[in-house]
């Protein structure tokens, strides 16, 4: 039935509204109160006491619903009427004013709320007294406003004053007393005095459990608040237990209090990292909300978004924040504090997603809505904006924001101030301004150590960050000391939980990992390995072998093992990491590919080039698929692959890879970029290794021009390129240009270039390296004096710095010996070779390759000196060592045996020489084939020995076999004397000599004429080789008795020699002597005498009258004079020869006796006796 407006009916309706209010049915309560109010205003009047009471109660419902504007309006209307009808200090008036203050507090108008409470308090104290219950309630509420304003000292003082009065007047366990004590605990909690807060909550809890029971609403509220303190203290297990106990006591699963408890429980689960359980609780609370846009609903949804963000489900988190933001913008307005908080949190998700542009836009929108530039919230937003700018790499803007926030701080040592300063230091560190970063970190650290203590979490985090800067600066001693200090200062509890990335910085394992990195950088690889292994063992035990952190440490351990040169162990670790990454991340994940790349590097360093190539190709294929062929990382791997291909000797493939990388670099970076130049430089190296010296020179010159333009003529890289260009020019035989380049590098380098040689490339431009190369060029150019001087200068320097037995010192001494050998200073060369040999035998051993090479060269010097016995001994020693180490058929063994055969041939031990040549020949025919160049050269030399032995049939057969086996290409070039041995003309010349010796003069003449015709066509009639063949042809003609033809040939040779060599040259005189013999044989004794006298005059002038060759010509001249009948002149010549022979050879020598016999014959012809 409908309500009436009778007094009883209105009272009943008013009572119903109160009950609805108390049970949370605010909409229904409001409707009832408004109906009662309308009836009372009509029947009783607007200012009637009952009317004002109803309006007062209506304001309370509006307050409970959150409609604070309407509540304030109602309270003010009631207050105005009460002040007018009852007076300002009436009890009802003061109660209304006190409730109005509560609304103002709820609206955040704390100044107005405080003013109202203080006014009511003054009236209560005057009218009722200091300790009266209403007075204490007002004072209690004032304390609440002070707490809300952040004036915690004043709030605590008020609560303690109220508490003392209540304990005295009401007793310790009175409800009002316990409420005050409960609120005091809240202030202590807000101040961070958690021990005191927990103690107060526990006192209140004990009293309420005793007086109200464990499950009373107030008891559970205290227990709920106690859980909050435990949560704040980090005692999450105890906090969870309290929340769950309170939750279990709730009777209505969907009651507001139940849901609030469940929400707080979710917060603890979130803090513990149990994000699945936290999400489930938040979702359960959210599902129970009836009003999607209610403030509590939106707050829960915001909490859920935070969990989703923490779980990494950023899409879902963003979606939740956007739902909350939309509702708040609609219900509260765009600039409401809650709306701005949500927008601020949304910006954090966008930042975490990497959508930095959107994050910056949100932060700037929130910042623009702030009214107070120096308000704490404004500065927090600006600080987060700085973080986004930092993440975007806009470090200048980030620094400016941090500095602006820092300037607004009032307390230099406040925790927030120091945190901002630490953020600023991080930006400076990222900018590379490590000095400034270090200064900021040190300033923050000093303040934290003073205000917070050495062992406090924030202090240790700053200390850690300072150590990182020192590490980045390369101040490794200081960095190690700081990391060790943090390790020593931290407590065991610092490993209990790591709720943030900052917390994890001071975990023992994180610090030991960083310490290991510093130790590795310092080169203390043993200590670094020990640290990494300790961390690895711990992580394998706690996280398992396949966890990301475990894999990361194992990867770093592999790097240390690689740096130590323990490549087998490094490979094993990389393979273990790779297997885990392929299983958990997939074959094409970035981390997997990085590990595979490093594994390839280890395989490459270990010389397993085939496996290295396979790994590089696998990484390359994945990168080409995921990043594309022109991506920087793809190009980098292709570059490494090219290096392996070069090392494997697959120069075609290496060139192709370098050219592909070069084309991409030129397209993306430009021709003069450092990376482009680097690729071109390496391409030049491949071309050089391939022997394509023209192309290599062109590439080096292109790189050099770019480096001179961009880096300058004296830059390290420029000088290294110029050095390599010089090597190419040297290899091409362009020795003048090579010398000029080496001298230019020497002139351009600075003294500091010798300070350290961290890489092989650096050592290229050391003074001694360059002078060594320069000496090699000078030697090749034939400037042996200058070459010797350079080698001696380098040798002196190395003997002083490295010592006489060092490998580099020995190498230079060996090269010096080569120059001395080339100069013909064989005594000095022998001395140097013997010194090198002694050092190598001492340091490397008798059978080491270098030792045997030196011994071989010593043997060559002894051979050149004519000390054939010593040379044979050295060759035999080298041969014995090579037969033992390499085997009898190895190329080097055969080479030494070949040289030994040559010495035996020179010594006249032709049987032994033949045996050695035949042994070498058999091995070469077996390993190289019958037609190989080396085989044919050996066969030629065997033929020479057979020829020298007089085994002319066998010699002819060998020469003809070599002629038949050689190819047309064997005449293309003769880069060495050995090569010329198997040219057709050389072989035909030797064959002609054998045919002559065999008496087959027709065949010999035919061969000589064929060779002569070829040489006249290719070298010309006056060339030394042409003259030599013509001379030999003349000898055959002379032997055949074709003296006219012989004379003609000898005269042709003589004319050419007189023109090119001079009248007194040895070859000229020999030809003239042989011409004289032909003239003598023809009977043209006058012409013969003239020739002999010409030769004699030249020999007397050049060799002296007593020289054997002079005597021999004089002897022949005497014979012609005798034949001509000029016996006096003949006698004079014979007597002169006889006197010289008796003086030099003795009276009984065969030549002396022969001369005496011929003298007697002349005397006999004259009719005289000797």
Give the Cα separation of 939 and 398 in Å (integer).
83
The region that residue 544 occupies, defined by phi over 0 for left and psi between -120 and 50 for alpha, beta otherwise, is: left
**What is residue 311's predicted lDDT score, i.e. its pLDDT?**
92
Give the Cα separation of 901 and 948 in Å (integer).
14
Give per-residue pLDDT as tens, 1011-1064.
889 999 999 998 999 999 999 999 999 999 999 999 999 999 999 999 999 999
**What is residue 758's predicted lDDT score, i.e. its pLDDT?**
45
When pLDDT is cut at 50, 70 and 90, the band that residue 1066 belongs to is very high
**What is residue 862's predicted lDDT score, i.e. its pLDDT?**
94
**What is residue 965's predicted lDDT score, i.e. its pLDDT?**
86
What average pLDDT does the segment 101-123 reach?
Answer: 88
Give the Cα separation of 761 and 552 in Å (integer).
32
Question: In which residue are the tokens 């005597």 written?
Answer: 1111
- pLDDT above 50 (res 755): no
What own/partner pairs with CB < 8 Å and gap ≥ 24 does 450-455 have?
450/413, 451/413, 452/415, 454/489, 455/489, 455/490, 455/491
Cα distances (Å, whole numbers) of residue 378 to 326, 344, 368, 398, 408: 22, 11, 9, 16, 10
Give per-residue pLDDT as tens, 1109-1161.
989 999 899 999 999 999 998 899 889 889 989 988 899 999 889 989 998 99
Percentage of the chain beyond pLDDT 70 is 96
Is the Cβ–Cβ distance between 992 and 1032 less than 8 Å?
yes
Query: How is residue 375 annotated by DSSP?
Result: S
What average pLDDT does the segment 461-489 reach?
Answer: 91
The SS3 of residue 1138 is helix
Is the Cβ–Cβ distance between 309 and 352 less than 8 Å?
yes
Percentage of the chain beyond pLDDT 90 is 61
When pLDDT is cut at 50, 70 and 90, the band that residue 986 belongs to is confident
**What is residue 793's predicted lDDT score, i.e. its pLDDT?**
92
Give per-residue pLDDT as tens, 659-699.
999 998 898 888 889 999 999 999 999 999 999 999 999 99
The SS3 of residue 942 is helix
Average pLDDT score over the chain: 89
Least-confidence region, from 12-26, 142-156, 886-900: 12-26
When pLDDT is cut at 50, 70 and 90, the band that residue 972 belongs to is very low
What average pLDDT does the segment 446-453 reach?
Answer: 90
Least-confidence region, from 483-497, 602-616, 941-955: 483-497
Cα distances (Å, whole numbers) of residue 1143 to 129, 240, 1149, 1153: 158, 128, 11, 13
- pLDDT above 50 (res 997): yes
> Which strand (E) or helix (H) includes residue 1029?
helix 1024-1040
Give per-residue pLDDT as tens, 530-588.
999 999 999 999 999 989 999 999 999 999 999 999 999 999 999 999 999 999 999 99
**What is residue 1170's predicted lDDT score, i.e. its pLDDT?**
46
What average pLDDT does the segment 881-899 reach?
Answer: 92
CA dihedral 431, 432, 436, 439 (to 10 degrees): 110
pTM above 0.75, yes or no: no
Name 234's Cβ contacts closer than 8 Å, sequence gap at least 6.
Answer: 497
When pLDDT is cut at 50, 70 and 90, the band that residue 976 belongs to is low
Give per-residue pLDDT as tens, 477-503.
998 998 898 899 876 555 544 445 556
The region that residue 528 occupies, defined by phi over 0 for left and psi between -120 and 50 for alpha, beta otherwise, is: alpha
What average pLDDT does the segment 968-980 reach?
Answer: 54
- pLDDT above 90 (res 442): yes
- The most confident of 72-76, 104-108, 593-597, by mean pLDDT: 593-597
CB atoms within 10 A of CB 975: 7
**What is residue 496's predicted lDDT score, i.e. its pLDDT?**
44
- pLDDT above 70 (res 759): no
**What is residue 749's predicted lDDT score, i.e. its pLDDT?**
76
Give the Cα separation of 1125 and 406 in Å (integer).
130
Residue 301 is encoded by which pair of tokens? Answer: 């949804």
Give per-residue pLDDT as tens, 392-432.
999 999 999 999 989 998 888 988 888 999 999 999 999 99
What average pLDDT does the segment 780-803 reach?
Answer: 93
**What is residue 41's predicted lDDT score, i.e. its pLDDT?**
87
Query: How is residue 549 annotated by DSSP?
Result: H
When pLDDT is cut at 50, 70 and 90, the band that residue 10 belongs to is confident
Name 761's Cβ contacts closer than 8 Å, sequence gap at least 6.
Answer: 720
**What is residue 672's predicted lDDT score, i.e. its pLDDT?**
87
Least-confidence region, from 52-66, 599-613, 650-664: 52-66
- pLDDT above 90 (res 860): yes
- pLDDT above 50 (res 273): yes
């Amino acid at each position: 039935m409908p309500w009436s407006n009778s007094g009883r009916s209105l009272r009943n309706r008013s009572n119903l509204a109160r009950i609805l209010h108390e049970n949370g049915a605010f909409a229904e309560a409001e409707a009832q109160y408004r109906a009662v109010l309308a009836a009372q205003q009509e029947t009783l009047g607007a200012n009637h006491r009952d009317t004002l009471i109803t309006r007062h109660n209506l304001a309370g419902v509006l307050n409970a619903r959150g409609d604070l504007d309407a509540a304030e309006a109602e309270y003010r209307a009631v207050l105005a009427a009460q002040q007018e009808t009852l007076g300002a200090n009436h009890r009802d008036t003061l109660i209304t004013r006190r409730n109005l203050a509560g609304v103002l507090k709820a609206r955040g108008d704390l100044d107005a709320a405080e003013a109202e409470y203080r006014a009511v308090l003054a009236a209560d104290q005057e009218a009722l007294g200091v300790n009266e219950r209403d007075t204490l309630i007002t004072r209690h509420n004032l304390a609440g406003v002070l707490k809300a304003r952040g004036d915690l000292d004043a709030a605590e003082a008020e609560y303690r004053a109220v508490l003392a009065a209540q304990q005295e007047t009401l007793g310790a366990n009175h409800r009002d007393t316990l409420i005050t004590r409960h609120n005091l605990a809240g202030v202590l909690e807000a101040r961070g005095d958690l021990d005191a807060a927990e103690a107060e909550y526990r006192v209140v809890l004990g009293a309420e459990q005793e007086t109200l029971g464990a499950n009373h609403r107030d008891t559970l509220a205290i227990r709920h608040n106690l859980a909050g303190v435990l949560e704040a203290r980090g005692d999450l297990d105890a906090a969870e237990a309290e929340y769950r106990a309170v939750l279990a006591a709730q009777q209505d699963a969907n009651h507001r209090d139940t849901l609030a408890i469940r929400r707080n429980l979710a917060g603890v689960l979130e803090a513990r990292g149990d994000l699945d359980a936290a999400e489930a609780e938040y979702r359960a609370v959210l599902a129970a909300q009836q009003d999607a846009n209610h403030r509590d609903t939106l707050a829960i949804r915001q909490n859920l978004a935070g969990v989703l963000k923490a779980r990494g489900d950023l899409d879902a988190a963003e979606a939740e924040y956007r739902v909350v933001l939309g509702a708040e913008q609609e219900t509260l307005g765009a600039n409401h504090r809650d709306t701005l908080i949500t927008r601020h949190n949304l910006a954090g998700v966008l930042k975490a997603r990497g959508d930095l542009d959107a994050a910056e836009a949100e932060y700037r929108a929130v910042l623009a809505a702030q009214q107070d530039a120096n308000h704490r919230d404004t500065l927090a937003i600006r600080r987060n904006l700085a973080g986004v700018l930092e993440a975007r790499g806009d470090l200048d803007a980030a620094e400016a924001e941090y500095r602006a926030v820092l300037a607004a701080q009032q307390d230099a040592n406040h925790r927030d101030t120091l945190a901002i300063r630490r953020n600023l230091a991080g930006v400076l560190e990222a900018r590379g301004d490590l000095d400034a970063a270090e200064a900021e970190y040190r300033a923050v650290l000093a303040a934290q150590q003073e205000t917070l203590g050495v062992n406090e979490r924030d202090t240790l985090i700053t200390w850690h960050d300072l150590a990182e800067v020192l590490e980045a600066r390369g101040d490794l001693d200081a960095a190690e000391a700081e990391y060790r200090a943090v390790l020593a200062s931290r407590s065991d509890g610092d490993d209990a939980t790591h709720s943030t990335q900052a917390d994890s910085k001071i975990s023992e394992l994180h610090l030991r990992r960083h310490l290991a990195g510093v130790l590795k950088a310092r080169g203390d690889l043993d200590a670094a390995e020990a640290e990494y292994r300790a961390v690895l063992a711990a992580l394998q035990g706690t996280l398992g072998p396949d966890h990301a952190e475990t894999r990361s440490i194992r990867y770093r351990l592999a790097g240390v093992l690689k740096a130590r040169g323990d490549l087998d162990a490094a490979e094993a670790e990389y393979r273990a990491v790779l297997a885990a990454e392929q299983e958990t991340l997939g074959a094409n994940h970035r981390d997997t590919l990085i590990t595979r790349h490093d594994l390839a590097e280890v395989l490459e360093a270990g010389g397993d080039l085939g496996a290295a190539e396979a790994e590089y190709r696998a990484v390359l294929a994945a990168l080409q698929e995921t990043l594309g062929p022109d991506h920087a990382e793809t190009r980098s791997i292709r570059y490494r692959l090219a290096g392996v291909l070069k090392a494997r000797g697959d120069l075609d493939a290496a060139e192709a890879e370098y050219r592909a990388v070069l084309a991409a670099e030129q397209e993306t970076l430009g021709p003069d970029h450092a990376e482009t130049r680097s690729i071109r430089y390496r391409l030049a190296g491949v071309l050089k290794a391939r022997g394509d010296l023209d192309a290599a020179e062109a590439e080096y010159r292109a790189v050099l021009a770019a480096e001179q333009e961009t880096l300058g003529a004296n830059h390290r890289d420029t000088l290294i390129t110029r050095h390599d260009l010089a090597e190419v020019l040297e290899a091409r035989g362009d020795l003048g240009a090579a010398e000029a380049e080496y001298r230019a590098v020497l002139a351009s380098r600075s003294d500091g270039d010798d300070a350290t040689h961290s890489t092989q490339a650096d050592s290229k431009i050391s003074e001694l390296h360059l002078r060594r190369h320069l000496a090699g060029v000078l030697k090749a150019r034939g400037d042996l004096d200058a070459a010797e001087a350079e080698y001696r200068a380098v040798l002196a320097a190395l003997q002083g710095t490295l010592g006489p037995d060092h490998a580099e010192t020995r190498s230079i001494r060996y090269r010096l010996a080569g120059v001395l050998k080339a100069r013909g200073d064989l005594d000095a060369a022998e001395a140097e070779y013997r010194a090198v040999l002694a050092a190598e035998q001492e340091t490397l051993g008798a059978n080491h390759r270098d030792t045997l090479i030196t011994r071989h060269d010593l043997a060559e010097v002894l051979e050149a000196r004519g000390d054939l016995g010593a040379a044979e001994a050295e060759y035999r020693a080298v041969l014995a060592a090579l037969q033992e180490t390499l085997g009898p058929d190895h190329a080097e063994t055969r080479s030494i045996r070949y040289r030994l055969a040559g010495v035996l041939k020179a010594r006249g031990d032709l049987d032994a020489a033949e045996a050695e040549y035949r042994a070498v020949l058999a091995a070469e025919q077996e390993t190289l084939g019958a037609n190989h160049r080396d085989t044919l050269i050996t066969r030629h030399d065997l033929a020479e020995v057979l020829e020298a032995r007089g085994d002319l049939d066998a010699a002819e057969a060998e020469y003809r076999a070599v002629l038949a086996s050689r190819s047309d290409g064997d005449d293309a070039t003769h880069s060495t004397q050995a090569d010329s041995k198997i040219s057709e003309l050389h072989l035909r010349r030797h064959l002609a000599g054998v045919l002559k010796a065999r008496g087959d003069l027709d065949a010999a003449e035919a061969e000589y004429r064929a060779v002569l015709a070829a040489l006249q066509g290719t070298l010309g009639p006056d060339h030394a080789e042409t003259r030599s063949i013509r001379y030999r042809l003349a000898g055959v003609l002379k032997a055949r008795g074709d003296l006219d033809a012989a004379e003609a040939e000898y005269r042709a040779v003589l004319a050419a020699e007189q023109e090119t060599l001079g009248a007194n040259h040895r070859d000229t005189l020999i030809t003239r002597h042989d011409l004289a013999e032909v003239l003598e044989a023809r009977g043209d004794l006058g012409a013969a005498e003239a020739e002999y006298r010409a030769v004699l005059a030249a020999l007397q002038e050049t060799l002296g009258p007593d020289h054997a060759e002079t005597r021999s010509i004089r002897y022949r001249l005497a014979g012609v004079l005798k034949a001509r009948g000029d016996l006096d002149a003949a006698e004079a010549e014979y007597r002169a020869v006889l006197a010289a022979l008796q003086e030099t050879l003795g009276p009984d020598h065969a030549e002396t006796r022969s001369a005496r016999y011929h003298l007697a014959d002349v005397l006999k012809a004259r009719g005289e006796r000797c």
